[in-house]
Copies of this chain bind each other. A is one copy, B any other.
Amino acid sequence: MDSLVIGIDVGGTKVAGGLVSMKGRLVSSLTVPTRAAKGFATSFGQVVHLISRLIDRAGGTDRIAGIGLCAPGPLDTKAGIIINAPNIPGWQKVPLAAKLGEEFHLPAKVENDANAAGLAEVLFGAAAGYRHVFYVTVSTGIGTGIIINRRIYHGKNGAAGEGGHVSIDPTSPYRCGCGALGHIEALASGPAMARRARVFLEEEHTTSSHLRDLTHGNPSRITPELIEKAARAGDKVAKKIIEDTGFYLGVWLAGMITLLDPEAIVMGGGVSQIGEPLFKTIRKTILRYTLNPGLAAHTPLLPAKLEKLVGVYGAASLFLPAGEEIEHGY
């Protein structure tokens, strides 16, 4: 029987896990709540519980080649340490690879979730066949991963690829969750779209707005999905918000193309579900802001494919032959 890899994706609300074959086929998957608020012992217990169930399904540890785990925030991938996972209390400076190794007597590796997702999209998803890809996920935050030669680029400290925290408007009044001004995450994430909508709804008295109806006049209910729905119904404010968001993402991605010259960009996450209205503005803006529009026009912007299980695939990829972790610094 073929070996299997366990892939675990730890998020603020749930932990997803799966058994993945050496050829990248998902054999089995499971999800449990993270119970993040209850602290590290509880949430780590959830992860252990999930892994145990997956090992049972596999028929024991003998068939398991390793455990790959991905989580948000900065990690020391070389030492296998979670430095600080936002929204998961207690997941700070945890030597997670070592802890999992002790618990299950299996090799274990950890990775940033966006890096893992980028690798998964290159190995099995939207960018299958490409070698050099810039991966973006736009949802509550903006995560990115740089894939070079089908491998995650880590930089010196394993901190590379945090493209969501590049400022493209340093005098912007909008402060990122990390504290800096004008980071693309503060300008074009889901919460940034909702903030734009609230500003419009609070200030705009002249335009009749589907958005106002959809949220029953309660600006705190605004989500990217509602904005998209309102735009489809012809709401001008909603259309403007999608256009502004696409503009900022386009300026930012123009820079990424100029700098990294990737073969493709893959975009996932909740905000990207808006689809063509958003992608159209992004593509148009990239051509205006990049150095070589001719090259950029041939750099496809692809919607992500794996979505919900992308983290599971990505974490498992850390043990797959084509996705093996690469020399420190790449």
Contact = CB atoms under 8 A, between A and B. Distances in A.
A160 interface: yes
A295 interface: yes
A160 B292 CA distance: 11
A165 interface: yes
A207 to B, nearest CB: 23
Contact of A170 (B154, B159, B166, B289): B289
Given A159-B291, A160-B259, 4 more contacts: A149-B330, A155-B262, A162-B291, A168-B255
A168 to B, nearest CB: 6
Contacts of A178: 291
A32 interface: no
Given A168-B167, A181-B289, A292-B74, A262 B330 contact: no
Given A132-B156, A329-B148, A170 B167 contact: no
A299 B263 CA distance: 29
A299 B158 CA distance: 13
Contacts of A288: 180
Interface in A15-49: none
Interface string A256-279: 001111110000000000000000
- When all copies of this chain in the complex are counted, the total is 2
A88 interface: no
Nearest to A285: B170
A290 interface: yes
Contact of A180 (B163, B291, B295): B291
A251 B290 contact: no
8 contacts: A146-B259, A159-B292, A160-B261, A165-B291, A168-B255, A180-B291, A181-B289, A183-B291
A157 interface: yes
Contacts of A163: 258-259
Nearest to A131: B329
Interface string A299-317: 1000000000000000000
A327 interface: yes
A169 B169 contact: yes
Given A165-B290, A178-B291, A330-B149, A262 B170 contact: no
B259 A166 contact: yes
A257 to B, nearest CB: 9
A161 interface: yes
B180 A289 contact: yes
Contacts of A182: 251
Contact of A161 (B166, B248, B259): B259
Interface string A131-155: 1100000000000001011000111
A149 B180 contact: no
A255 B330 contact: no
Interface in A44-77: 74
A254 interface: yes
